[in-house]
């Protein structure tokens, strides 16, 4: 497994994950998905920074994404410009965001046309767990790709569960979110 990772989306969670990857000895190049993100602390921790999503794709065979929604993930991958324009055959995209399964399936199909693999690996936990490498990941995709990427996934997560094919990780995450919301609402005092 190529230990050079391109990371798109270094917000609160992404920043902690990048620091964890750096601490595990992985070379990480970061692309900020928002202009207002200050990446100085990541640079001090050893991350490289690029201002071009295409450069991120050209220089790394593994790309990890932590973005707000499927819309941003689609824009990052499809562009223009997008990761799909420059990723090489054999690359892997790992979406750690909470995305829509149908969007994930569409993106994985588009990537597969270029012989690029995709895993959906949404996370459970907050910034404290991310910083400690104690996230929980539910991963969907091809089993062989999952097994190849497992060392990187274990570098950022205490619990990693393979839950089936493409989109299954995001499906499980959405079901979990719905269940948590339902539980929370049942215990909320009524006025």
Is residue 96 within 8 Å of residue 119, measured between CB atoms? no
- Exactly one of 19, 59, 143, 173 is catalytic; which is it? 173
Question: Catalytic site residue 173?
Answer: yes
Task: Calculate the CA 71 to chain-centre distance.
Answer: 14
- DSSP string covering 17-65: HHHHHHHTT-EEEEE-SSTT---HHHHHTT-EE-S-HHHHHHH-SEEEE
Q: What sign for the dihedral angle of Cα 41, 47, 51, 53? A: negative
Q: Which residues are catalytic?
A: 173
């Amino acid at each position: 497994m190529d230990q050079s990772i391109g990371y798109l989306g270094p917000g609160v969670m992404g920043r902690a994950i990048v620091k964890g990857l750096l601490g595990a000895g992985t070379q990480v190049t970061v692309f900020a998905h928002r202009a207002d993100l200050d990446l100085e602390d990541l640079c001090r921790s050893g991350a490289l920074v690029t201002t071009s999503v295409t450069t991120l794709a050209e220089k790394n065979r593994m790309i990890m994404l932590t973005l707000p929604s499927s819309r941003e993930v689609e824009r990052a991958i499809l562009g223009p410009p997008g990761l799909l324009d420059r990723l090489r055959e054999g690359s892997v995209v790992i979406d750690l965001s909470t995305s829509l399964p149908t969007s994930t399936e569409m993106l994985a199909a588009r990537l597969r046309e270029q012989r690029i693999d995709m895993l959906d690996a949404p996370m459970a936990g907050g910034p404290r767990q991310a910083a400690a490498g104690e996230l929980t990941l539910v991963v969907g995709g091809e089993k062989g790709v999952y097994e190849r990427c497992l060392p990187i996934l274990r570098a950022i997560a205490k619990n990693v569960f393979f839950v089936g094919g493409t989109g299954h990780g995001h499906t499980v995450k959405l079901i979990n979110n719905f269940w948590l919301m339902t539980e929370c609402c049942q215990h909320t005092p009524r006025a």
